[in-house]
Amino acid sequence: MSPVSLKRHGTVSVITIDNPPVNVLSQPVRQGLVDCFDAAEADAATEAVVLICAGRTFIAGADIREFDRPPEEPQLPDVVARIEATTKPVLAAVHGTALGGGLEVAMACHYRLAHRMSTLGLPEVTLGLLPGATGTQRLPRLVGVERALDMMLSGEPVAAGAAMEAGLVDKLTGEDLLAEAISYAEKLAKPGPRRVRDLAVEPVDAAVFDAARKRISQKARGLLSPERIIRSVELATRGDFDAGRAAERRFFLECKASAQSQGLRHAFFAERKTATIPGIGKETPSRKIENIAVIGAGTMGAGIAYSCLTAGFTVQLLDKDEAGLARGATAVRKLFDGGLARGKFARQDLESSLQRFHASRDFADLGGTDLVIEAVFENMAIKKEVFARLDEVCKQGAILATNTSTLDVDEMASATSRPKDVIGLHFFSPAHVMRLLEIVRGAETSGDVVVTALDLAKKLGKIGVVVGNCFGFVGNRMLYSYGRENQLLLLEGAAPEYIDRILTDWGMAMGPNAVGDLAGLDVGYKARQERRDRPDDPRFYRIADLLAELGRFGQKTGKGMYRYEQGSREPVPDPEVQALIRDEARRLGVPQREISETEIVERCIYGLVTEGARILEDGISHRASDIDVVWINGYGFPRHRGGPLNFADTIGVKKVYRTVAEFEKRFGPEYWTPPQLLRKLAEKNGRFGDIGN
């Protein structure tokens, strides 16, 4: 049964796509469209055609899953050409989202009607692609070159109202979309088809393209598709639609075959898989959460409180220290002022959120709370004290969560009589910005508590990744291996700024030394002090420990691995640190040498891959792609490389294994013994991507 149907209403033929959940243009849909447009064309009683979708949205684009398979006919550019060639006026009736190939199909239609709440966009760049079915040629003809470049280079969809103003949409409606579309189409029979391909592109100054190239050189350094988008739009200004279309297609196939697009497509699906938890059925109910309490009014506590308030929850911020509580409450209000200034919400939203915000110093006020998120000092004794108190005051069924970034969740749960209601909710700093929420499932955490945590993540606009309980969980446990290699490379002669430049050129959002200074070297130092299985190696994080013991905590003290001018966040190499490293290397008997860029990338990134493999072996993560999602959304790992384990699959696990085995010989088994899983995958030419999927 074709997912595309045709039904005539008077003189208007209505073509409906019904391909849940988001009406993607998979092969049966493409074939169905061609068949239905052929039928409407041949039907003498049809004077106009409406294209509409069933379900919650218009077409959300091409079927991305098909990109890893040989292409099937009819291909989308041919479907688009077929629609535009229709000799009777064609109206696209848009609701929900018209994205990518979906907007290209709508622009192949001669007119566009959109529901007021709909959005329209060409997000292909977020997948390392560019519109591949004439979008780069049609959009500039409708909205102008600059607006088209903005939309395609950002990938951000626009609201229907703005699309109307820009000329992308001809009419808006808030009513019954199908009825509105049929009556509008009846009126179009007279003017007849108006083909976008025949429209001229408003000429612009070449400076517009120079400016666009400058923008992408800063924001999308080394990425292929943004440059191809600019090139295609430049060709569109030459007015030869078919020449532009042919070039766009060449660029599209080039980008589709690129490792960058493979990485970005992997990330797209990986982020949608995290909510499927083996052993927890889709029917598992989620607990009702309206009231949330945050314990600890520090930076993280305030950020978490703000996130929960902007998501509509009632929030109580609790801190036993009066001054601390006042500082926390002020920080929350400051975040709201910032959000208002950036147009994130309207003043009345700010006021209604603050009405749901309460500050308290008394645990007794938590009797009615549905969820408590503890964000106090990273010290086990203090945390256990808090959990024991929560166990006394919180109602049965309340969820008791900890925001710890490394400590044992089961040990905290053991301080209560209800370990099944205890879970880790590890937010990343800044809590209101970072999209990742590491959800730590304890040995006794019940399934409905896990499901409730995943729902909470979605409501907060975050990606919840469920992981097991161990030191550092997934993210920080892997960070230890990555950071360890950085620290050893410093001792062996690589300057902090050299390591950071190589890893940022490779794609990391920030280098490990700049990240250490941002997070605070004191934070890492205290966490290492709490660690019970610290390696017996005097070189282990030696430089970071020394700097912390000297009070060089990083940005917050103006000095860390780097120096920071007053009020600046710009890291400046500090000769004092260089000398300290040299002296310590001499004291520890570590010879200094020239270190290649390749060695730095391999030791830091393969450190991640190796620890990722151990995490999978230990069952701390359900699937390899979850680990990729953690590092992309929590640690600035380049999205276009798809995460550490996807990267290993891209270059070949065998290559990684061989290099790790070499490192074991060179640097010893303590850090570089290849995990069994890595060896097995290498032997059978396997992929991490197949684990847990």
Residue from 32, 61, 634, 674 touching ligand T1G (CB under 6 A): that is 61
Is residue 628 a contact point for ligand T1G (CB under 6 A)?
no
Stretch that binds ligand T1G, among 58-66, 418-426, 639-647, 676-684 (CB under 6 A): 58-66
Residue from 13, 19, 46, 97 touching ligand T1G (CB under 6 A): that is 97
Residue 273 CA from chain centroid, whole number: 13
Stretch that binds ligand T1G, among 94-102, 324-332, 542-550, 652-660 (CB under 6 A): 94-102
- C-alpha distances (whole Å) from 592 to each of 49, 536, 561, 582, 605 are 74, 22, 18, 8, 22
Degrees to nearest 5, angle at CA 109 with 70 and 255: 35
DSSP string, 77-96: HHHHHHHHT-SS-EEEEE-S
Is residue 62 a contact point for ligand T1G (CB under 6 A)?
yes
Q: Which is nearer to ligand T1G, 139 or 608 (CB)?
A: 139
Q: Least distance to ligand T1G from the beta carbon of 656, Å?
A: 28
Q: Least distance to ligand T1G from the beta carbon of 441, Å?
A: 21
Q: Write the binding mask 74 to 93 for ligand T1G: x where contact by CB under 6 A, - elsewhere.
A: --x-----------------
Instruction: Select from 552, 544, 554 the least CA-distant residue to 581.
Output: 544
The H or E element spanning position 12 is strand 12-17
Is residue 99 a contact point for ligand T1G (CB under 6 A)?
yes
Tokens of 277: 């938890």
Is residue 124 a contact point for ligand T1G (CB under 6 A)?
yes
Q: Least distance to ligand T1G from the beta carbon of 115, Å?
A: 15
Is residue 123 a contact point for ligand T1G (CB under 6 A)?
yes
Q: Which is nearer to ligand T1G, 32 or 607 (CB)?
A: 32
* Cα(530)–Cα(546) distance, integer angstroms: 17
Return the SS3 of 295.
Answer: strand
Return the SS3 of 181.
Answer: helix
Contact 692, 623 (CB under 8 A): yes
Segments in 189-321 forming alpha helices (H): 207-219, 224-236, 241-256, 259-273, 299-310
Residue 240 CA from chain centroid, whole number: 37
Residue 276 CA from chain centroid, whole number: 17
Count, residues near ligand T1G per rule CB under 6 A: 25
Q: To which residue do tokens 């690589």 refer? A: 494
Q: Least distance to ligand T1G from the beta carbon of 149, Å?
A: 16
SS3 content of the chain, % helix, strand, coil (to 5): 55, 10, 35
Is residue 65 a contact point for ligand T1G (CB under 6 A)?
yes
Q: Write the binding mask 252 to 291 for ligand T1G: x where contact by CB under 6 A, - elsewhere.
A: -----------------x--x-------------------
Q: Least distance to ligand T1G from the beta carbon of 379, Å?
A: 39
- C-alpha distances (whole Å) from 135 to each of 123, 131, 232, 532 are 11, 5, 10, 57
Q: Least distance to ligand T1G from the beta carbon of 126, Å?
A: 6
Q: Which is nearer to ligand T1G, 23 or 446 (CB)?
A: 23
Q: Within positions 125 to 154, which residues make up the interface with ligand T1G, using CB under 6 A? A: 127, 129, 131-133, 135
Contact 201, 141 (CB under 8 A): yes
Q: Least distance to ligand T1G from the beta carbon of 585, Å?
A: 49
Residue type, 199: L
Stretch that binds ligand T1G, among 59-67, 317-325, 375-383, 566-574 (CB under 6 A): 59-67
Instruction: Select from 23, 7, 27 the least CA-distant residue to 15.
Output: 7
Residue from 3, 101, 193, 612 touching ligand T1G (CB under 6 A): that is 101
- 66 classed as catalytic: no
Contact 508, 554 (CB under 8 A): no
Q: Which is nearer to ligand T1G, 10 or 312 (CB)?
A: 312
Q: Least distance to ligand T1G from the beta carbon of 230, Å?
A: 16
Is residue 458 a contact point for ligand T1G (CB under 6 A)?
no
Q: Within positions 2 to 21, which residues make up the interface with ligand T1G, using CB under 6 A? A: 21
Catalytic residue among 47, 84, 104, 485: 104
Handedness of CA 584, 588, 593, 597 (dihedral sign): negative
Q: Which is nearer to ligand T1G, 40 or 127 (CB)?
A: 127
* 526 backbone dihedrals φ, ψ, rounded to 5°: -65, -40
Question: In angstroms, how far is the first alpha carbon of the chain from the final one?
Answer: 29
Catalytic residue among 47, 84, 124, 599: 124
Instruction: Select from 112, 94, 202, 185 the least CA-distant residue to 149.
Output: 202
Contact 85, 36 (CB under 8 A): no
Q: Within positions 199 to 228, which residues make up the interface with ligand T1G, using CB under 6 A? A: none
Q: Which is nearer to ligand T1G, 21 or 591 (CB)?
A: 21
Q: How many CB atoms lie within 10 A of CB 73?
A: 10
Stretch that binds ligand T1G, among 123-131, 517-525, 575-583, 676-684 (CB under 6 A): 123-131
Q: Least distance to ligand T1G from the beta carbon of 48, Å?
A: 26
- 351 classed as catalytic: no
Q: Least distance to ligand T1G from the beta carbon of 233, Å?
A: 14
Q: Which is nearer to ligand T1G, 414 or 693 (CB)?
A: 693
* Cα(497)–Cα(489) distance, integer angstroms: 12
Give strand ranges (E) for 269-368. Answer: 291-295, 314-318, 357-360
Q: Which is nearer to ligand T1G, 151 or 478 (CB)?
A: 151
Known catalytic residues are 104, 124
Which residues would be at the binding site for ligand T1G (CB under 6 A)? 21-22, 24, 60-65, 76, 97, 99-101, 104, 123-124, 127, 129, 131-133, 135, 269, 272
